[in-house]
A = this chain, B = another copy of it.
Amino acid sequence: MRRLIECVPNFSEGRRSEVIEALVEPFRRTPGCHLLDYRADPDHNRLVVSVVGDDEPLKSALLQAAKVAVERIDLNAHQGEHPRIGALDVVPFVPIKNASMEECVRLAHDFGRTLNEELDIPVYFYEEAALRPERRRLEVIRRGQFEALKTEIKNPERHPDVGEPRIHPTAGATVVGARKPLIAFNVNLRTTDVEIAKEIAKAIRASSGGLSSVKAIGLTLEERGMVQVSVNVVDHEKNPLYRVLEMVRMEARRWGVEVAETEIYGLAPLPALVDSLKYYMGMHSLSADQIIEARLLDLMGGEG
C-alpha cells in the first residue's frame, strides 16, 4: 500500500516570479517528489506549495528550497498582508494515506533539526509536533511577526525549539509541524447582505462555540452579487463537509436565504469527499478503495 505524506511549505514571496520559480524548482526536479500545486498571492506576498513525496526526497527538496529562500528573501524588506516570521515561514507535514500522524511528527522534528544545522535558522514546532503545549497554535508562535521576534526571541518563553535564541538576520525563523489536511470550503449565499454571512460564520465556527474543527468568516463577493461563508475545516473527520454545509443551510433559513453554491478551494483528500457522498446518497458501505483511481494509486506504490 502506497504511503502518502503531503507537505505544504509557505514561503514569504508572492510577487517576484523568478524567485517563485526558483523556490518551486527543487520540488519539480527531485525524483520521488510530486509537486501537486503552487499558488502565489501578491497581496499576501506569499507562496504556498503542495507536494507529496517519500521522506528523504521531501526533506532534500525542502532543504534546497529553504536555501533559495535564504538567498533571495530578506524579511527586513518584506511587506504583505499575511503574518510571517520567516522566509520559509511554515512547513506542515500532513498524513494523507497509509501514514500516521506520528510519522509526520517524526518527519517534522527531523526536518526542523536539519534546517537549523544546515542554515542556522531557529525552528519552532507547532500543532501535533509542538514540544510546548502553547505552541500548538501557530498564531502564538508568530505573535508580533518577524519584526517583534527579532528582540523577543531572547526571552525564554520565545526561545526556539531548535537552535540558539537569535533570529536569522534576513530569513527570520521557521515553524515546522504536523497537522491533518486542511480543507478550504466556501458556501455562497443568495443575498448581498454580508451581515448574514458573518452571523452564520459566527454560528458555525469553533471560536464562538460552533463546530470544533471549523474556522469561518463572512465575506462579500462583489462581482457575484452574493456573500460567502468562507470556511477552513481543520479536521474533516470530526467535522465533515456535509455537516458544515447543512449547518450553514440551517442557519441561513433564519433569514430566508438560500445556499447558491459551494466550492472547494485548492485540493482535498478523497476520503473527505467520499464521506459527504455517503451522507447524501445513504451509501454507507462506500470506501475510497472502490474508486478506480485510488485503487490504482495504491497498486502503483513501491518507492516511486
Q: Are B282 and A280 in contact (CB under 8 A)?
A: no
Q: Which of A37, A273, A292 has the most CB of B within 10 A?
A: A292
Binary contact readout A111-131 vs B (1 if CB under 8 angstroms, 0 otherwise): 000000000000000000000
Q: Which residue from B37, B284, B299 sits with its C-beta under 8 Å from A35?
A: B299
**Stretch from A18-26, A73-81, A135-143, A262-270 at the B interface:** A262-270
A contact residues, total (Cβ < 8 Å): 47
Cβ–Cβ < 8 Å partners of A291 in chain B: 267-270, 273
Main secondary structure on chain A at its contact with chain B?
Answer: mixed
Query: Measuring CB to CB, which residues of chain A are less than 8 angstroms from any residue of chain B?
Result: 4, 6, 34-37, 52, 96-97, 181, 241-242, 245, 259-264, 266-270, 273-274, 276-277, 280-286, 288, 290-297, 299-300, 304
18 A-B residue contacts at CB 8 Å?
A: A4-B296, A34-B296, A37-B295, A96-B293, A260-B282, A261-B283, A262-B281, A262-B283, A269-B292, A270-B270, A270-B293, A273-B277, A276-B280, A276-B281, A277-B280, A288-B293, A293-B297, A297-B297
